[in-house]
Amino acid sequence: MGNASDTSAVFTSTISKEYDLAMGSLYILYCVLSLLGNCILLLVAHHKRSSLKPPEFFIINLSISDLGMTLILFPLAIPSAFSHRWLFGETACQLYAMCGVLFGLCSLTNLTALSFVCCLKVCFPKYGNKFSWAHARLLVVAVWCYASMFAVAPLAQWGRYGTEPYGTACCIDWHAPNHEISALSYIVCLFVFCYALPCTIIFLSYSSILLTVRGSRQAVQQHVSPQTKSTNVHSLIVKLSVAVCIGFLGAWTPYACVAMWSAFSDATRVPPSAFAMAAVFAKSSTVYNPAVYLLCKPNFRECLYRDTFTLRQRISGSSPRLGSTLPRNKVTIISTRFSTGQMDRCEACLHCVDNPAKCHVNTAQRTACILTGSVHREVTLSQLTATPLADFL
C-alpha cells in the first residue's frame, strides 16, 4: 500500500498492542454511536425544518461537522489501530490531519457561536429577537472560514502536520515547536484563538444565561404555585447550558493540556499514551454532542418521539396517521404550551365556558393546551386529574 516511507519507523505505533486494540475498539463504538446519533439528529431537523429557529441551525452545523469527522477519520484510524501502525502513507496522513483539525475546530467554534447567540437571545432579547436566518447562515460560513484558516495553515508552512506521537494517526507535529519558531507560533495562536478564547466566550455566555435565568425565576416564583415551579422552561436552559459546557471541556481540555505540555517542554518526555488517551477523549465529542441535543432539547425530543411512533405504526401495519390512532373517548396530550402570564387562548377556554366572569381574572395561571379527539381546549393545570398531570409534567 505504499512506498519506502510508509515502512519507516515514524508510521509504527509507539504504544503497546493492547492500547491499540483498546483504541480501535473504542473508535468502532464511537463510529457507530456517532453515525446513529448524528443521522437521527439530522433526520429530526429535516422533519421539523419548517419550524426550525435560526439558533438551531448551529446544532445542525455541529452535527454535520461531527458526521464529517466520523466518516473521514474513523475509517482510517480504526484499521491503523488494529494493525499497530499507520497504513495509508504520507499524503493520506496530511489530509487526515487537516480534516481532523478542520472538523475539530469547526465543532469548537460552532459551540462558541451557539453559546453567544443563546446569550444574545436570553440576556439581550432586544437584539436577540432580531437574529434571523440570514444572520445564522452568515455566522455559520464565518465558523467554517475560521476553522479552515487554521486547518490549511500547516500546508502553507505555518506549523506542520505529522504523525501523532503514538504513531497510528496524524495531527499537528507536536515535536516541531521544539526546534522551529514558526511551528511554535502556530501552536500558541491555535491555543489562544481556538481553545482559550472559545472557552472564555462559552463560560461568559452561559454564566450570563444562568444569572439571567436565576433573576427571572425569582420573579416568576412570586406568581407561580410551588407545585409547578420546577417545571418551567428555565430549568431546561440551565441543564442544556451545563451539559454543553461539560461536554466541551471534557472532550477537548485533555488534548489541549497535553499539546501545550509537548510544545513548551521537551516533547520526547511526553508519554505517547498521554496523546492517545487525549485523542480518545477529543473524538468522544462526536457522540456527546448529538446526545445532548436529542435528550435536552424538548422540541427535538418530541419530534423524535413522533417519528418513532409513526415508524412503529408502519411496522405494525397500522395507519401512521396520528388522528386515526387516537381513541375518541380518551384524553391524550399531544402538545403542550405553558403560560406564566395571562391565559393564552387555544380555541375555547374552559373558564369562559363555565363562568364568563373568570375571563377577567388577572391572576397568573399555568395552563395547558390539550387535544381530546378533534376538539382543542385550554385548561389550567389544577383542572387536570392526577394521572394526566403526572404525564403532562
In a domain, 313, yes or no: no
To which residue does cell 415508524 refer?
Answer: 311
Both 276 and 347 in one domain: the answer is: no
Last residue in a domain, options 258, 275, 305: 305
pTM of the predicted protein model: 0.72
Q: What is the DSSP letter of 337?
A: -
Both 74 and 137 in one domain: the answer is: yes
Closest CA to 111 of 169, 39, 62, 69: 62
Q: How many domains does the chain have?
A: 2
Taking the CA of residue 194 as centre, how many other CA atoms within 13 Å lie in the half-sphere pointing to its CB?
A: 27
In a domain, 311, yes or no: no
Both 104 and 253 in one domain: the answer is: yes
In a domain, 271, yes or no: yes
DSSP sequence for 1-32: ---GGGGSGGGB--S-HHHHHHHHHHHHHHHH
Both 8 and 111 in one domain: the answer is: yes
**Is 348 within 8 Å of 341 (Cβ atoms)?**
no
Both 136 and 279 in one domain: the answer is: yes
In a domain, 45, yes or no: yes
Q: Tens-digit pLDDT profile for the chain (393 aa)?
A: 444 444 456 788 889 999 999 999 999 999 999 999 899 888 888 887 787 788 788 888 989 999 999 999 999 999 999 999 999 989 999 999 999 999 999 988 988 898 888 888 888 888 888 888 889 999 999 999 999 999 999 999 898 898 888 889 999 988 887 778 888 899 889 989 998 998 899 889 888 888 887 777 666 666 555 444 444 555 666 677 677 777 877 888 888 888 888 878 877 788 888 889 998 988 888 888 787 777 766 666 677 677 677 767 777 765 444 444 444 333 333 343 333 434 343 333 434 444 444 444 444 555 555 544 444 455 554 555 443 433 333
In a domain, 318, yes or no: no
Alpha carbon distance 26, 38 (integer Å): 18
Both 138 and 231 in one domain: the answer is: yes
Both 219 and 133 in one domain: the answer is: yes
Q: What is the DSSP letter of 192?
A: I
pLDDT in the model for residue 253: 87
pLDDT in the model for residue 270: 85
Both 170 and 37 in one domain: the answer is: yes
In a domain, 232, yes or no: yes
Both 292 and 365 in one domain: the answer is: no
Alpha carbon distance 111, 105 (integer Å): 10
Both 32 and 175 in one domain: the answer is: yes
In a domain, 315, yes or no: no
> Residues of 249-274 as b/e, b for ≥16 C-beta within 10 angstroms?
eebbebbbebbbbbbeeebeebebeb
In a domain, 317, yes or no: no
Last residue in a domain, options 305, 337, 354: 305
Closest CA to 244 of 68, 58, 64: 58
Both 360 and 269 in one domain: the answer is: no
Q: Look up the domain containing 382 and give its range.
A: 327-392
Both 200 and 262 in one domain: the answer is: yes
